[in-house]
Amino acid sequence: MNIQADQLFKIFGDLTRLRVLTLLSREGELCVCELTYALGEIQPKISRHLALLREAGVVLDRRQGQWIYYRTNPDLPMWTREVITATAQGIVTQSPFNEDLQSLRDMPNRPESACCA
């Protein structure tokens, strides 16, 4: 797996994708329903950004029933994973990232292993 630096920073250049990556970095794996709730965005918008992240190889998905879960690709080069982790750690106390994390924590009936059932 190889990703170019300019490609990664273009991904970071979009606030929605940066918010998604911050949550994935902090939480490990999240269902689309968790991401839409935490970011307060509609599902098609989140899915469009997740598709771009998946096509770039930054995230992987898995299907469980009708739900799709996303996580950061563990096969990314080490420097890429370090940049994502360091960025998420550095911005998580800033708005809107801290609100996203709090919204996720406050999500009623948050799925554990079976999403949105």
Are residues 50 and 70 in contact, defined by beta-carbon separation less than 8 angstroms? yes
In a domain, 54, yes or no: yes
Q: Which two tokens mark 95?
A: 């708005």
98: domain CATH number is: 1.10.10.10
Counting residues of the chain whose pLDDT is more than 90, the rounded percentage is 86
Does residue 114 register a pLDDT over 80? no
Listed residue (22, 34, 36) closest to 112, CA to CA? 34
Per-residue pLDDT averaged across 94-102, rounded? 97
Report the number of distinct structural domains present in the chain. 1
CA distances from 33 to 10, 12, 47, 56, 111 (A): 25, 22, 10, 22, 9
In a domain, 98, yes or no: yes
In a domain, 48, yes or no: yes
In a domain, 108, yes or no: no
Query: What's the confidence (pLDDT) of residue 112?
Result: 67
In a domain, 31, yes or no: yes
Are residues 95 and 60 in contact, defined by beta-carbon separation less than 8 angstroms? no
Q: What is the pTM of this model?
A: 0.91
Each residue's pLDDT tens digit, 7-60 = 999 999 999 999 999 999 999 999 999 999 999 999 999 999 999 999 999 999
Which domain range does residue 86 map to? Answer: 5-103
Query: What's the confidence (pLDDT) of residue 110?
Result: 85
Are residues 67 and 35 in contact, defined by beta-carbon separation less than 8 angstroms? no
In a domain, 75, yes or no: yes
In a domain, 66, yes or no: yes
In a domain, 62, yes or no: yes
> Would you tell me how many other CB atoms lie within 10 Å of the CB of residue 38?
26
